[in-house]
Amino acid sequence: MTAEATAPEATAAGPSTAAAAPPSDLLPTATGRRAARVVGRYARERPGLAVAALAVSIASAAAGLIAPAVLGALVDAVAEGGSIGGFLLALAGAALLAALLTGLAAVAVSRLGETLLARVREAVVARVLHLHTATLDRVRPGDLLSRVGDDVARVSESVTTGLPEVINAALAVLLTLLGLGVLDWRLAVAGLLALPAYVLALRWYLPRSAPMYARERLVVAERADGLLGAVQGAETIRAYARSGPHAAEVARRSAVARDVGVGVFRLYTDFGWRMNRSEFVGLAAVLGIGFLLVRGGGATVGEVTTAALLFHRLFGPLGTLLFSFDEVQAAGAALVRLVGVVDLPDTEVPAQRPDGSHRPAVELRGIGHAYGDGPPVLADVDLRLAPGERVALVGASGAGKTTLAAVLAGALDPTAGEVLVDGVPAAGLPGRGLRDVVALVSQEVHVFAGTLADDLRLARPDATDDDVEAALRLVGARWVAALPGGTATLVGEGGTALTPAQAQQVALARLVLADPPIAVLDEATAEAGSSGARELEEGAFAATAGRTTLVVAHRLTQAVRADRVVVLHAGRVVEEGTHADLVAAGGRYATLWTAWRGR
């Protein structure tokens, strides 16, 4: 986890810098420009929302300019001996308007931000669901998890809390500077004299803050760790009269955490002091130049008052911007990691509906496989399935059955050999290759949240209600009739929970709807208890009837009904023939069969 945990810091050098080529076992990271383009595209999908958020934010920032202007006019009016009643009313009105618009702007920006984030999340999940197994095998699992977990959380947090404030502050700064310029360009230039001081403050703060905060997190964790260890082991510690040293260790770690905490606070106040210095430089310049202007008759006291108030108004938003710099950077670093996932090459080609009438021959030629640097789990596997033939794969746990099934289904690229369909190597097949002609039902089936019918339509979006019901009937899912809403019942997370056997039947019904010419069943019936297993076995048999089928048989009754049985041992095919032949041969399969019958 260490590498993943430090990744945001590593990229925090700036969301706008080009992405470095990632190590091959990490998912790619997008550039800042690319991320901005993707988010911009999503924003254009909701033009009303985007324009509204921008308009209200600008209006809110502009409303903040009214009060300083009114106050300046008031000063001039007082100097000339006029009445101030109207000004006071205007001030109250301006305050109300500004409050209202600020609230509206926060709502609009949050809504836009949440909508965009939802789009990014959807895109990430959609891409992750379609990642090729080879990619998934290659990347570190922690990298993917930290992206869909931590990175999404980080962006989400800044969208809900920081983003509205930051946008508000940025617009306020922009419009205030504009207002200063409109008022008198010489006063605006005076204000800009503060800029170098601000830059200096930021350049002092940024390189210190990230390591400081990281260290604070670390020492606080160490303190908690030490305390927990001592509390959990209190009995033992007391029994061995070791409480002295342990208490000392806890005290030492607490002292370190305290010192670092004080250090963080000192850093913070030092930065605050540097900010104040910048403010002083700017305000002093505005007042100084204003004095000269008023003396020379180039401006009124009221105008200079407005300018000073406008400049003073910058302090709050500028502080917000500078203090949230870290957070914005971290959120940006998380965002480019998310967009990196979105941009992974699309392996999804519009699925061609396989022609259901043709039953192809499948051939595995010299298949070998090893996971990563591990030992070979498949070696020299040659296996031919004739058109429409049903082959049962039998073997002890760990023999390599699941691996072989995944290779045949195109879910796993073997490290040696190739799969041929009707003599064509998988690499030469059109579309998504094997995945378009083979359906795999594995033990780990997932029921997606939604209606049961929608779940089945994952396999064929244009399936009618009749198709859906027929598929469920074919696989023997009689329990559907007992559901409160039939196939319209919500299932999966938040809906009716399905038993593992029912989930298996849903997966089988999906296979029926997808209607692939080749089917691979991996332990599809192993989940159920003995009574349910029989039913599942029937469902699996019906769902695969007429297809070229490889079934990983855990119940040997499945092997009995197959056209041919293949016995796998330690990654190699050791026996092959019909059930009767193999029983008669008295080899490994015969032993398994005797054991199975005598259960």
Among Mg ion, ligand ADP, none, the one that 185 touches (CB under a kind-dependent 5 to 8 A) is none
**β-bridge pairing 424-425 and 416-421:** antiparallel
Q: DSSP secondary-structure letter at 363?
A: E
**Which are the contacts of 316, defined by CB distance < 8 A and separation ≥ 6?**
169, 172
* x/- letters, 93..112, toward ligand ADP (CB under 6 A): --------------------
CB of 415 to ligand ADP, least distance (A): 12
Compute the distance between CA of residue 377 and CA of residue 398 in angstroms, rounded to an integer: 8
- Vertex 521, ends 515 and 524: CA angle to 5°? 115
- Bridge-based pairing state of the strands 548-552 and 390-394: parallel
DSSP H or E segment with residue 421: strand 416-421
For residue 314, what are the β-bridge partners? none
Give yes or no for a contact between 138 and 22, defined as CB atoms under 8 angstroms apart: no
Nearest approach, Cβ of residue 156 and Mg ion (Å): 38
Q: Give least dist CB 403 to ligand ADP, A.
A: 3
CB of 239 to ligand ADP, least distance (A): 42
**Contacts for 463 with CB less than 8 Å, ≥ 6 apart:** 456, 457, 471, 513
d(CA 449, CA 428): 36
Write the single-letter amino acid at 421. V
Going from the C-alpha of 533 to that of each of 524, 537, 556, 559, the distances in angstroms are: 9, 6, 12, 14
Taking CB within 5 to 8 Å according to partner kind, which of Mg ion, ligand ADP, none is near residue 141? none
Q: Count of residues binding ligand ADP (CB under 6 A)?
A: 11
Question: Measured from the CB atom, is 74 or 377 closer to Mg ion?
Answer: 377
Least distance (Å) from Mg ion to the CB of residue 319? 60
**Buried/exposed 299-308: b ≥16 CB within 10 Å, e otherwise:** bbbbbbbbbb
Among 156, 402, 442, 487, binds Mg ion (CB under 5 A): 402
The answer to the question of residue 345 lying near ligand ADP (CB under 6 A) is: no
Binding mask 190-219 for Mg ion (x = CB under 5 A): ------------------------------
Restricted to residues 402-441, the positions that interact with ligand ADP (CB under 6 A) are 402-403
Q: Which of 399, 477, 536, 573 binds ligand ADP (CB under 6 A)?
A: 399
Per-residue binding letters, 349-388, with ligand ADP (x by CB under 6 A): ----------------------x--x--x-----------
Least distance from ligand ADP to the Cβ atom of residue 215, Å = 37
CB of 375 to ligand ADP, least distance (A): 8
The only residue of 397, 466, 482, 530 in contact with ligand ADP, by rule CB under 6 A: 397
The candidate with the shortest Cα–Cα distance to 571, out of 363, 434, 420, 375, is: 375
From 327, 341, 8, select the one nearest 150 (Cα to Cα): 8
Read off the tokens for 371. 């996971």
Q: Which two tokens stand for residue 360?
A: 């192809």
Residues in CB range of 59: below 8 A, 6 or more apart = 101, 105
Do 420 and 362 touch, CB atoms closer than 8 A?
A: yes
User: Quick check: 525 binds Mg ion (CB under 5 A)?
Assistant: no
- Kindly state whether residue 403 participates in binding Mg ion, applying the rule CB under 5 A: no
Q: Which of 400, 410, 417, 517 binds ligand ADP (CB under 6 A)?
A: 400
Instruction: Please report whether residue 401 would count as binding ligand ADP according to CB under 6 A.
Output: yes
How many alpha carbons fall within 13 Å on the CB side of residue 350? 0
Least distance (Å) from ligand ADP to the CB of residue 25? 14
Smallest gap, in angstroms, from Cβ of residue 524 to ligand ADP?
13
| Amino acid identity at 572 | R
CB of 393 to ligand ADP, least distance (A): 8
Among 14-22, 272-280, 401-409, 431-439, the segment contacting ligand ADP (CB under 6 A): 401-409
We find the least distance from the C-beta atom of residue 572 to ligand ADP, in angstroms, to be: 12
Nearer to ligand ADP, 342 or 378 (CB): 378
User: Least separation, in Å, of the C-beta of 37 and Mg ion?
Assistant: 44
Please, are residues 198 and 278 in contact by the beta-carbon 8 Å criterion? Answer: yes
Q: Would you count residue 505 as binding Mg ion (CB under 5 A)?
A: no
Q: 499-505 — which CB contacts under 8 Å span 24+ positions?
A: 500/527, 500/528, 501/527, 501/528, 501/532, 501/535, 501/536, 502/477, 503/445, 503/446, 503/447, 504/441, 504/445, 504/528, 504/536, 504/539, 505/472, 505/475, 505/476, 505/477, 505/536, 505/539
Helix, strand and coil percent figures for the chain, each rounded to 5: 65, 10, 25
The rounded distance, in Å, linking the Cα atoms of 583 and 71 is 101
Q: Which does 403 bind (CB under 5 to 8 A by kind): Mg ion, ligand ADP, none?
A: ligand ADP
Based on CB atoms, which residue is closest to ligand ADP, 399 or 468?
A: 399
Pick 15 or 414: Cβ nearer ligand ADP: 414
Nearer to ligand ADP among residue 398 and residue 428 (C-beta):
398
Q: Residue written as tokens 């061609």?
A: 352
Tokens of 370: 């090893």
Q: Which stretch binds Mg ion (CB under 5 A): 89-97, 98-106, 402-410, 499-507?
A: 402-410
* CB of 168 or CB of 402, closer to Mg ion: 402
Among 328-336, 359-367, 393-401, 504-512, which window interacts with ligand ADP (CB under 6 A)? 393-401
Which of the choices ligand ADP, Mg ion, none does residue 377 contact, using the CB cut-off of 5 to 8 A by kind?
A: ligand ADP
Least Å from the CB of residue 376 to ligand ADP? 9
- Quick one: 67 or 399, whose CB is closer to Mg ion? 399
Cα–Cα dist 369/436, whole Å: 22
Query: Given candidates 86, 288, 398, 428, which one binds ligand ADP under the rule CB under 6 A?
Result: 398
Residue 371 binds what, of Mg ion, ligand ADP, none (CB under 5 to 8 Å, by partner type)? ligand ADP
How would you class 178 by CB atoms within 10 Å of its CB: exposed for 0-12, middle for 13-18, buried for 19 or more? middle
Residues that bind Mg ion (CB under 5 A): 402
Residues that bind ligand ADP (CB under 6 A): 371, 374, 377, 395, 397-403
